[in-house]
Amino acid sequence: MGASIAAVITAAGSSTRMGGGCKKEYLVLPKTQTAGSSDISEAEDERLTVLGSAVSSFAACARVSVIAITVPPDADADDYTSEYTGEYAARKALPQHLLRQEYPAVFFVPGGSSRRMSVHHALSTLAGFKPDYVLIHDGARPWVKTSMIDRIIDAVMLYDAVLPVLSLSETPKELDGGFVKRHLKRASVVLAQTPQAFVFNTLLEAHEKAIVHELMDDVEYTDDAEVWGEFVGPVAVINGDKLNRKITFPEDIPPS
């Protein structure tokens, strides 16, 4: 029997940098920009939302048995009437066949006040499924490919913790008060992507330690690789995908 693989798709943020009160994960992608996976049929992929495209790529991976999607605990008043919960809006943003099928199981988890807290909520809920490994992915990265998800799963089984990265094409600088503090070496600095993958129980334990650290030292962790690196150990890297971009600003969604 193979390893059990779970996935967490984060979509509980407020999308403040998108402007206009819109939630980026629920925006409909242009028809030509929704093919996150070659395994998704043309009919299913025709008019996917940002979240629907990301989730569809994970659902197309036969090795993923359960998908937890973090959602805002309350509706955004600018987008939805007060009786609609965050789960309701997220359900409407997904291809409906994903909610009807038994495998992989898809369910929703109310998020917290930070990304790390939202992931911890999802991990705590997933613990009942007893997965061996978990992949954490930004719901605002709609162009993730199923082939990349498979590569991440292969890598985490070898290294216990892994993330995809991109090399830099320009020279990075570290700033301090409007001046250059350090001239960083381009070869030693990379851009982190998702999905990031980890041994499930070890990551859950690391998140529980992070809760204490955040309360005592007023720190915030920006991704799960940082949590693992702080409380467990090194994180291996594999080559990322330039197409696996994250939507942050309105211009990140290309025109039709």
Please tell me the predicted confidence (pLDDT) of residue 117.
95
Per the structure, the complete domain to which residue 59 belongs is given by 5-251
Residue 233 domain-assigned (yes or no) = yes
The Cα 117–Cα 111 span in angstroms is 7
What DSSP assignment string belongs to 133-202? EEEEEETT-TT--HHHHHHHHHHHHHHSEEEEEEE-SS--EEEETTEEEEE--GGG-EEE-S-EEEEHHH
The count of domains in the chain is 1
| Whole-structure pTM value | 0.90
- As a whole-number percent, the residues of the chain with pLDDT over 90 amount to 68
Residue 102 forms part of a structural domain: yes
Q: Is the pLDDT of residue 75 over 60?
A: no
85: pLDDT confidence band, cut at 50, 70 and 90?
Answer: low
Q: What is the CATH number of the domain that holds 215?
A: 3.90.550.10
Q: Classify residue 256: in a domain, yes or no.
A: no
Q: Are 95 and 44 in contact (CB under 8 A)?
A: yes
| pLDDT tens for each residue of 175-215 | 999 999 999 998 889 999 999 999 999 999 999 999 999 98
Q: What is the mean pLDDT of the chain?
A: 88
**Mean pLDDT across 116-121:** 96
Q: What is the pLDDT of residue 255?
A: 72
Predicted confidence band at 73 (pLDDT cuts at 50, 70, 90)? confident
CA distance linking residue 166 with residue 192, whole number of Å: 7
What's the confidence (pLDDT) of residue 19? 61
